[in-house]
Structure 1
Amino acid sequence: MTRRLLLSYLSLTLLVLLCLELPFGYVYARGEMSRFTSGGQQAAVMLAEVLEEKVERQATDDVPTLVADFARRTGGHVIVVNRNGQLLADSRGTIAAGTDLSTQADIATALRNRSTSATRQDATLGGTAFVATVPGASGATVRCAVRISYPVSMVTSKVHDAWLVLAAVGLGVLAAVTLIALALARWITRPVRALEHATAQLADGTLTDPPATDLGPPELRRLAAAFVRTATRLQHLLKAQHAFASEASHQLKTPLTALRLRLENFEPHLDPRAQGSLDEAVGEVERLGRMVQGLLALARLENAATTPEATDLDAVVADRAGVWTAFAGEQYVDIAVVGPRIGEVMAIPGALEQIIDNLLSNALRVSPPGTTLTLAIAPASGNPGMVELHVMDQGPGMTEAQRERAFDRFWRASDTHHEGTGLGLPIVQQLARASGGEVVLLPAPGGGLDAVVRLRLARTPNTLPGRRPRSRLGTRPATVPSSWADSPVPVREGHQ
């Protein structure tokens, strides 16, 4: 930002300098050239009057001396001819006396009593010259003609010096403006950089270095003060929410467990006709417990500021598929893993396991006996930096309207026949987004639902990896980890 401000100031200053100095230099050059030509023309007329008088008095012997003296004082080249065009004097001595010059256009014009002037190349002076040719006449009688050539370098060097002075002044102004603009830009951007640093700290979860509220322009000071107040309030709210997420699990789990035990203790003393109501009450308590765990899991995800890390997708998929084989076998459902070996993807720690657990739990609840759950890994089409994990079932699937609402918290399809909480897919979505990816629901080929999780590859492969053999895990034994009982993620959700 400092460089942009500095460039803005310098660009504006340069524009002003160009608008001022270029017209001034142009006008100055035009004025100098006009004065130069006017002076040369006037000097030629004056010399012609003096020489015409000498010729009239037949004192032509004095002409070469006058011409030489004039040329020495003015630095020009003077040629004088009589009324017949014959050379009387040449200040440079390059032409012999008596040479007929009447055939030259400017001399012929002057002998007809008309003056001419032009800028042209002069071989005698060795460059561009201003040439003025005037008649020496009394009335209509022309007695001689005078040609004076002045080197243009006399005025161009002066104009060049003026341009150098203007350039030096412009550079000096730019240098002064650079110093002033640099100090001003730093004064303006220092609080902005402090705000940027503080914002990055706040995004990471803790503001340890708040921006100063007494630096920079008044507007930025007020902005910094408002940011500090907002950040302080936000940190307080985040700490309160984090404390709630940490403490609510224990505080809510204990009474729910006690309530379930008390309900189960009623069973020996109830009339058999009330047994159904008791089972429903116990089921609602269990559902409430799962819902509390899901809400706490979402709260922890929203509070956490974990950075995605490289995670071996192939290993996680194989591990979770093996773990869920026992549950799938109880319902006579197979689990198949297909697709190429991808390697590492970016995900927050533990996210892949929870994503696959939730999606497999949902799919397993709606899969009829004798069907197959498919875990398919494939590179994302059109994006070499992404990979797709498909969890496909052969259940009833979902309509387009249901798929659009499936990620809403607590939403469940009206035809759902299981006791899900409506939090499984929102948790999957939150985990995918926190890992820098996304999750979408699509119709599965041949019926059912295809849950697609897109994640960033830890590195972009140069070549397509080799394909893994299709594996069916429907009869593979597995042991459910004991930590699932205390997991904040509900791992037995159905489709919502």
Structure 2
Amino acid sequence: MLAEVTEENIEKGDLGQLSDVVGDYATRTGGRVVVTDRQGLVLADSDPASRTGISIAAQPDIARALRNRPTVAHGEEALSATMPGSSGTTVRGTLRLTYPMAEVNARVHRIWGALALAGACVLAAVALAAFTLARWITRPLRTLEAATAQLAEGHLANPPDATTGPPELRSLAASFTQTATRLQQLLKAQRAFASEASHQLKTPLTALRLRLENFEPYLDPRAHGSLEEAVGEVERLGCMVQGLLALARRENSATTPEPVDLDTVIADRVAMWEPLAAEQYVALAVTGRPAGRVWAIPGALDQIIDNLIANALRVSPPGTTITLHRVPGAELHVIDQGPGMTESDRARAFDRFWRASDSHHGGTDLGLPIVRHLVHASGGAITLHPAPGTGLDAAVRLRPVTDACSRAGTARPRPRPATAPTP
């Protein structure tokens, strides 16, 4: 464009205007401008120290421009561009524009800096818009997550927000609230049933047992055996009802595990069971290194150990030993010397009301299902293995309380009185 302007001034013979154009451009851009005529004589030069009227036609870039060929060259110190001032094939002069490389680099850096600043502003605006949009979209998800955690604890106090966010998430939050409300109503009704059934079933079962016992003086002695069996079945039915209600209450309650001293619970329960075991000529032994504190829901360890000892005592012959062996890593083994179980029996032992075909004990077959539920609720696991020789090894693995949790100020468990074993 500058070459076209200078060519027009040369054609009109307006050399004074040519000097003004060259000087103004050089002042604004910081470059040096040299203009020649068709013979290569300098007509204007923005450098005040240079002379006009001299010939530079022999210089390579000027010679090429006079032949209507542009030249661009750059070196370590300067960048130059030489253009012909021509109209079609007629060359009326040449224009050389020279910039110091320092000025070129500074300008490039300024342009890149402006582009980088503009890009950063655009990215910041996009990030802000994306963050705002993401917060708007995920807010219902956060409230839904909090509501899910509350529901897992057993009570939904703060339903998820169904008024903000995308329509799909609002619909999901509303559906979750409706489902959670219905679930809470069902759980409440089931807990109420378990509580009422516990009281309603005790009275008729007790009355039935008393009536059967009142028949004894009026029955033929040969029928006393059948009467005792009937009374035993009524007692078993009562124990079964109590076990079912206890299991239902446990399944319907969501309790957070707490740190419990496993060794203390083992010592308490063994002391409670030793007199009953002695009546059957069975010994109780505690072996292994102390297990320390473990995570368990309140009261779970007492019932777990009570049920396992009761099951072991039920099948242990006189003169044998029930061993409670502790293994490092919060693991407890209750080992008896009874007849044991086959592999298929061990696989089904945790099913409700299931009993082995060769089982003749009077239990309710709910002890192991209750134990499994309590162990799982405490975050552990229970498995059955054959004991060395004969017998059964019930292995309970719980989560140990680490030192970090203890230093964090974890509350110690509340002392609880010894509870009677669940049949």
Interval of TM-score (by shorter of Structure 1 and Structure 2): 0.7 to 0.9
Q: Structure 1 residues 446 and 106 mapped into 2: Cα distance closer, same or farther (>3 Å)?
A: farther
Per-residue displacement from partner, 1:441-494 (whole Å, max 9, x unpaired)?
A: 1222344221111111222589xxxxxxxxxxxxxxxxxx9963xx6x21xxxx
The 2-side partners of 1:228 and 1:450 are apart by 45
Deviation for aligned residue 1:271: 2.0
Q: CA RMSD in A?
A: 4.2
TM-score by length of 2: 0.79
After TM superposition, the structure 1 stretch with the greater mean CA deviation from structure 2, 296-305 or 145-154, is 145-154
Deviation for aligned residue 1:342: 2.5
Deviation for aligned residue 1:177: 8.3
Task: Note if 1:74 corresponds to 2:30.
Answer: no
Q: Structure 1 residues 239 and 114 mapped into 2: Cα distance closer, same or farther (>3 Å)?
A: closer
Q: Structure 1 residues 136 and 346 mapped into 2: Cα distance closer, same or farther (>3 Å)?
A: closer
Map 1:347-426 to 2 at 5 A.
Answer: 347-380=296-329, 387-426=330-369
Partner residue in 2 for 1:42 = 4
Among 365, 376, 380, the alignment partner of 1:437 is: 380
After TM superposition, the structure 1 stretch with the greater mean CA deviation from structure 2, 267-276 or 426-435, is 267-276
Among 49, 57, 61, the alignment partner of 1:106 is: 61
Among 434, 442, 448, the alignment partner of 2:391 is: 448
Partner residue in 1 for 2:121 = 171
The 2-side partners of 1:336 and 1:155 are apart by 88
Deviation for aligned residue 1:99: 8.2
TM-score by length of 1: 0.68
Among 314, 324, 330, the alignment partner of 2:273 is: 324
The 2-side partners of 1:165 and 1:99 are apart by 43
Partner residue in 2 for 1:117 = 71
Q: Structure 1 residues 88 and 456 mapped into 2: Cα distance closer, same or farther (>3 Å)?
A: same
Q: Tell me if the contact between 2:7 and 2:93 (Cα under 8 Å) persists in the aligned partners.
A: no
After TM superposition, the structure 1 stretch with the greater mean CA deviation from structure 2, 94-103 or 422-431, is 94-103
- Report sequence identity in percent: 54
**Bigger relative CO (Cα 8 Å, ≥ 6 apart):** 1
Per-residue displacement from partner, 1:364-385 (whole Å, max 9, x unpaired)?
A: 22223333222111234xxxxx
Deviation for aligned residue 1:327: 2.7
Partner residue in 2 for 1:278 = 227
Deviation for aligned residue 1:246: 1.8
The 2-side partners of 1:209 and 1:136 are apart by 82
The 2-side partners of 1:120 and 1:211 are apart by 68
Partner residue in 2 for 1:132 = 82
Q: Structure 1 residues 135 and 196 mapped into 2: Cα distance closer, same or farther (>3 Å)?
A: closer
Per-residue displacement from partner, 1:82-136 (whole Å, max 9, x unpaired)?
A: 96x897875425567898867643244456x35232152485xxx534x115499
Task: Note if 1:203 corresponds to 2:158.
Answer: no
Deviation for aligned residue 1:220: 4.2
Q: Tell me if the contact between 2:68 and 2:89 (Cα under 8 Å) persists in the aligned partners.
A: no
Secondary structure of the residue aligned to 1:78 is strand
The 1-side partners of 2:307 and 2:292 are apart by 22
Deviation for aligned residue 1:357: 0.8
The 2-side partners of 1:185 and 1:137 are apart by 61
Deviation for aligned residue 1:139: 8.7
Q: Tell me if the contact between 2:3 and 2:94 (Cα under 8 Å) persists in the aligned partners.
A: no
Matched length: 405
The 2-side partners of 1:237 and 1:136 are apart by 95
Secondary structure of the residue aligned to 2:210 is helix
Q: Tell me if the contact between 2:10 and 2:93 (Cα under 8 Å) persists in the aligned partners.
A: yes
Q: Tell me if the contact between 2:284 and 2:324 (Cα under 8 Å) persists in the aligned partners.
A: yes
The 1-side partners of 2:113 and 2:383 are apart by 69
Q: Structure 1 residues 102 and 231 mapped into 2: Cα distance closer, same or farther (>3 Å)?
A: closer
Q: Tell me if the contact between 1:135 and 1:145 (Cα under 8 Å) persists in the aligned partners.
A: yes
Deviation for aligned residue 1:420: 2.0
In the alignment, structure 1 segments of 5+ residues that lack a partner are: 1-38, 52-61, 381-386, 463-480, 491-496
The 2-side partners of 1:337 and 1:366 are apart by 19
The 1-side partners of 2:41 and 2:377 are apart by 103
Deviation for aligned residue 1:205: 2.8
Q: Structure 1 residues 138 and 276 mapped into 2: Cα distance closer, same or farther (>3 Å)?
A: closer
Secondary structure of the residue aligned to 1:456 is coil
